[in-house]
Amino acid sequence: MPTLSKETPRRGLDPAKVIDSALLLADTEGLAAVTLRRLAQSHQVTPMSLYRHFADKSDLLNAIADKLLADIDLPEPTGERWDRQLRAVMAAFVDALRPHPNVAGLTLTRILVAESGLVMAERTMELLIEGGFEPEYAAEVGRQAICSLIVLVTTEPGAGEDPEPEIREQSLRMKRATLGALDPKRYPLITSAADTLVCPTSTDRYYTLGIDLIVAGIRGVRQDPDA
């Protein structure tokens, strides 16, 4: 169980510290472990004290999502081509989400609410329009691209495995063995690539490839391929 911060009731409750505790809890035990009662216990306050800052659990989850979005370090505009700048924006978004795959999905509904999300969305649309997309199409392409980036993080191979190294490795070995046991005559490619299919050889490469594929797809659906 993670060591969560504890707040002395006499000094009041700092909502930012509660959000940090909730994020740590979600990272280590999963989103289901995040409850107002659990957080109240860890901060040595009553649940009612939390309700003074968060209307309910949904409000707390929104605050977690907003914190992740606030961590996006958007690159400054440069003179590079629109698609290269767009890739840098996407990479910054992924960098903010990568440490928190259990809660990355929460950001989807907050992008057009939180200031940091709005800034990223505006920048994304600007670059798409610069690349030749009409505004409405840019909005649709940008939305689907951001959704794809979130899925890239939430479905990172091995991200949902047990945090204990020995248990995690045992689980991965079983998955590799299952694929390796398939009929090699019927599934020659799957059996030969079992290790990579179960877990990428490099997490950095996994994300680099994922972002590159999304950007390549965006270039491929432009209305004017010569733009």
CB 72 within 8 A of CB 207: no
CB 155 within 8 A of CB 161: no
Tell me the pLDDT band of 7, cut-offs 50, 70 and 90.
Answer: very low
pLDDT mean over 83-109: 97
Tokens, residue 91: 């990479």
At 114-155, the pLDDT tens digits run 999 999 999 999 999 999 999 999 999 999 999 999 999 999
pTM: 0.84
At 157-172, the pLDDT tens digits run 766 555 566 776 787 7
Domains and CATH numbers, the chain: 9-54 (1.10.10.60), 69-157+201-220 (1.10.357.10), 165-198 (no CATH)
pLDDT mean over 45-71: 92
Of the candidates 1, 58, 68, 61, the residue with the CA atom closest to the CA atom of residue 29: 1
The percent of residues in the chain predicted with pLDDT above 90, rounded, is: 63
